[in-house]
Amino acid sequence: MDDLLSEFLTETGEGLTTLDVELVKLEQNPNDSELLGNIFRLMHTIKGTCGFLGLPRLESVAHAGENIMNKFRDKELSVTPTGVSLILECLDQIRDILQTLEATEKEPEGDDTDLINRLNAHAEGGDQAAVPPAESPSAPVEAGMDRLDHIPDDDDEEDELEKAFRLALGPDELAAKAVEVAAPAPEPVAEVVELKPAPAPKSVPKSAPPAAPAAESTTSVANQSIRVSVEVLENLMTMVSELVLTRNQTLQILRAHKESDFATPLQRLNHVVSDLQEGVMKTRMQPIGNAWAKLPRIIRDLSHELDKKIDLVMKGAETELDRQVLELIKDPLTHMVRNSADHGLEIPSERIAAGKPETGQVILNAFHEGGHIIIQISDDGKGLNTDRIRAKCLENNLASEADLEAMSDQQIQQFVFRAGFSTAAAVTAVSGRGVGMDVVRTNIEKIGGTVELSSTEGKGTIFTIKIPLTLAIVSALIVECCKERFAIPQLSVVELVRTSAHSEHKIEHISETPVLRLRNRLLPLVTLRDLLKLSDPEAEGEQGETTELREDNFIVVSQVGTYTFGIIVDRVFDTEEIVVKPVAPILRDIQLFSGNTILGDGAVVMILDPNGIAAATGEIAVADADMGGYEDRHAAAGEEKVAMLVFRSGEGAPKAVPLALIARLEEVDLTHVESSGGQHVVQYRGQLMPLIPMQPDMKLEKEGRQPVLVFSDRERSMGLVVDEIIDIVEDRMNVELSAEKQGYIGSAIIAEKATDVVDAGFYLTQAYPDWFGSESGKENFESDRSRILLVDDSPFFRNLLMPMLSVAGYDVKAVESASDALSLCEDGETFDVIISDIEMPGMNGFEFAEAVQENHRWSKIPMVALSAFASPADLVKGRAAGFRDYVSKTDRGALLTTIQDTIAELKGAA
């Protein structure tokens, strides 16, 4: 039997049993609203699943029952024994249908019109039920059934249910039809009818299925599996993890004693623990097909919407992986499939012109490979247009022309994963909803996976995702550097190379950068010692010589995406199964570690994060190398593009907020929202995150999902609840200011629409009144507040930063040009810190800084440069001009910290 169907049977069976009990309880306590809500939810779930599986008969019965429950819940109808009996009758009917369904895997033929009518009548008028017209319009439902019945009865490999699913009407259509059925019912006919007992359901299928042996039907599917709460499994997993650790420790001790009586029993223990680990892991395993269940529907809708013919092929749906991992990849996968269908495949006419079959294919393929799961999403569409990506990179200043010249096509294609990148020329309703491939990559990397793409123009694109089977226990390589041990997840280790001055592999230097010749390629190297700023206790004497490499080194060749690099370490030990534990919050912002663990000998070691290492060294150097040059061009162009997230909330114009302020976009499951102290909160990454509705009068639903913009500042997060996220738009900002409405900075034309620009700070302080004040408060206990001069030509940023700095306890004066600032100087004003933009019309930031240095009155005032981008090259240039520090405009935290440090230093010196 199909997994989906048997799961449905189990679930619904349980649901029905609970419903029976709950309904009886309800009859006794008709006013228990919690009970009512519970019953309604159960009923609703049953209905929803039926619709999803394409079981129209069940759905229509459940729907009618749900109707009444809905009225009970909304207090439109009082709970009466008659009503409850009707619902119970409805449940019995569902149970009957389910039984046949279980035996034959098909819905029995039959007519529930009578029951449905009585249910509907009750829903409309309580006991004063009116008889609907005799010829009840059940035709649409039957139409749906007809389509179901027309499934050819061949027994080929293809899953029947899946076929039925494709043939059947979508749940929405069905629901619509079911409503149609229900709607005409309340035609009021004066006659009052007594309620007849339900006719015996005609649940005997027309042609009894030959392939349903009696023995099988006695053991109901519903009893073959039990449901265990995920929590129990998680706990079990944690215990096993601990057991594995203890086993490792014991084995370590055993190794020290060659001849031991414990050897044999410990070996046995070792095996049992391994088996146990495997067994428990298995309980958490789910076929990846579960994550794919929604996709056929999505593809079907897409093909209608986009007028494309799309065939979705799913291979290896039975490949199993950890449910935690499964949950985490569900959304990225959906997004990627959507992307392939929307951006990848061409419309039929283009396909024919290109000599391809009219119907495009999106192929999903999952398989195991060496402790990992590989998921490939490929399409036979037009492939990535490297030229367009190149142009887009230049346009968005992701790389310079010279960089792009030097890159291979494949390297250029990887830019698709960069933030702020979408190749679709037009944003459709389907994809390009702003949350792009960069989010996909981030999500996959978060679970220790990698994603790569390769594309041939005109042929198609293949995305390859490689993820670990499980998150809890990973195999890691233990290395040593300066007498400290570290773990590197095996997943990202490609190979190990030993170098010495005399062997064939030796480390060479270009300037001071170490590289290694490896199979005719130059491999960039990073030294772990420098990266972690470690010093060897034995080599203490020759300090400062940290870049001096020893003769013998081990190089761990690692791969992150398509970027391969070597990590130089002192020694390499063996690999060990480690249990990843998160690091303390204090240490969480150290990018280079993904966690820590306890090794077999009981020592704590840090787990290195190859992604973090790549980000901290190589990858950035490759892609962002020429930022300095870009700044100049940027200044010449004299325009400042800001990426804005456009969303909808409440009535009126769309709203926008600078993307840089947003930490993440999330969809919050409303069933998880709790209320605490009059504030909505939700558990988010192990902490409680307050949810602030964008509209004060906005009511949160009890269930469903709601988009939330997450703002984070160090440990704290806050979610702004909005109605819908529309898009990310990168545009020049011309904000028309208005201080009339609280919470808004003003309005601007974004994507040719008048848009309200939201003052994020207003909402942040709603969640935490001291959001901005907390860090700086103590710096300003002296009675006079520090004065800050803010020079920025963009009214948008002036208005963004001014309130923020004021809230943080500074006295801020903002001017729009360097010359205005200098005239303030002549007027005799004085400040504690000057913060200045770099790109400004007239005198730019660097010139301004030089002018200030030359001016006697102001030459002592520390200056902080502010720019949309801050790269090392800018830093050097800024320092030369006289700036003390260089901060990215959109990084509030860094700005506040810098100001605070600057002032603290100033006070210390005075």
Is 888 a binding residue for another protein by CB under 8 A? The answer is no
Q: State the binding string over 482-511 for another protein (x if CB under 8 A, else -).
A: --xx--------------------------
Pick the closest to residue 689 from 671, 706, 672 (CA basis).
Answer: 672
Nearer to another protein, 392 or 884 (CB): 884
Contact 564, 558 (CB under 8 A): yes
Of the residues 189, 192, 313, 603, which one makes contact with another protein according to CB under 8 A: 603
Nearer to another protein, 534 or 625 (CB): 534
d(CA 260, CA 255): 9
Nearer to another protein, 616 or 824 (CB): 616
Phi-psi sector, 173: left (phi>0), alpha (psi -120 to 50), beta: alpha
- Pick the stretch among 162-170, 591-599, 690-698, 873-881 that binds another protein (CB under 8 A): 591-599
Nearer to another protein, 38 or 774 (CB): 774
Report CA-CA distances (Å) from 277 to 239, 271, 303, 846: 10, 10, 44, 62
Q: CB 600 → another protein: shortest distance, Å?
A: 11
- Pick the stretch among 12-20, 31-39, 531-539, 632-640 that binds another protein (CB under 8 A): 531-539
Report CA-CA distances (Å) from 685 to 386, 661, 716: 38, 19, 11
Nearer to another protein, 633 or 907 (CB): 907
Q: Kindly state the helix (H) or strand (E) to which residue 863 belongs, with its residue range.
A: strand 863-867
What residues between 731 and 790 interact with another protein by CB under 8 A? 774-775, 778
Q: CB 249 → another protein: shortest distance, Å?
A: 10
- Pick the stretch among 10-18, 268-276, 729-737, 893-901 that binds another protein (CB under 8 A): 893-901
- The backbone torsions φ and ψ at residue 66, rounded to the nearest 5 degrees and listed phi first, read -60, -35
What residues between 220 and 279 interact with another protein by CB under 8 A? 242, 245-246
Of the residues 424, 429, 590, 876, which one makes contact with another protein according to CB under 8 A: 590
Nearer to another protein, 185 or 804 (CB): 804
Is 536 a binding residue for another protein by CB under 8 A? The answer is no
Q: CB 114 → another protein: shortest distance, Å?
A: 57
Q: CB 900 → another protein: shortest distance, Å?
A: 6
Is 584 a binding residue for another protein by CB under 8 A? The answer is yes
Pick the closest to residue 862 from 889, 890, 899 (CA basis).
Answer: 899
Q: CB 544 → another protein: shortest distance, Å?
A: 18
Is 388 a binding residue for another protein by CB under 8 A? The answer is no
d(CA 80, CA 87): 11
Q: CB 584 → another protein: shortest distance, Å?
A: 4
Q: CB 547 → another protein: shortest distance, Å?
A: 17
Is 472 a binding residue for another protein by CB under 8 A? The answer is no
| Those residues with Cβ within 8 angstroms of residue 474's Cβ, 6 or more apart along the chain or in another chain | 448, 468, 489, 490, 491, 577, 578, 580
Q: State the binding string over 123-162 for another protein (x if CB under 8 A, else -).
A: ----------------------------------------
- The backbone torsions φ and ψ at residue 34, rounded to the nearest 5 degrees and listed phi first, read -65, -45
Is 530 a binding residue for another protein by CB under 8 A? The answer is no
Q: State the binding string over 668-707 for another protein (x if CB under 8 A, else -).
A: ------------------xx--------------------
Nearer to another protein, 613 or 822 (CB): 613
| Those residues with Cβ within 8 angstroms of residue 226's Cβ, 6 or more apart along the chain or in another chain | none
- The backbone torsions φ and ψ at residue 891, rounded to the nearest 5 degrees and listed phi first, read -95, 85
Contact 730, 645 (CB under 8 A): no
d(CA 883, CA 833): 11
Which string of DSSP letters, residue by residue, matches 679-744?
EEEEEETTEEEEEEESSTTPPPPSSSEEEEEEEEETTEEEEEE-SEEEEEEEEE--PEE--SSTTE
Contact 360, 345 (CB under 8 A): yes
Of the residues 300, 716, 787, 813, which one makes contact with another protein according to CB under 8 A: 716
Report CA-CA distances (Å) from 443 to 77, 365, 590: 47, 19, 19
Residue 517: count of CB within 10 angstroms of its CB: 13
- The backbone torsions φ and ψ at residue 726, rounded to the nearest 5 degrees and listed phi first, read -95, -50
Q: 310-315 and 484-489: which strand pairing? A: unpaired
Nearer to another protein, 352 or 590 (CB): 590
Q: CB 346 → another protein: shortest distance, Å?
A: 49
Q: CB 719 → another protein: shortest distance, Å?
A: 17
| Residues near another protein, by CB under 8 A | 242, 245-246, 484-485, 532-534, 581, 583-587, 590, 592-593, 596-598, 602-606, 686-687, 713-716, 774-775, 778, 897, 900-901
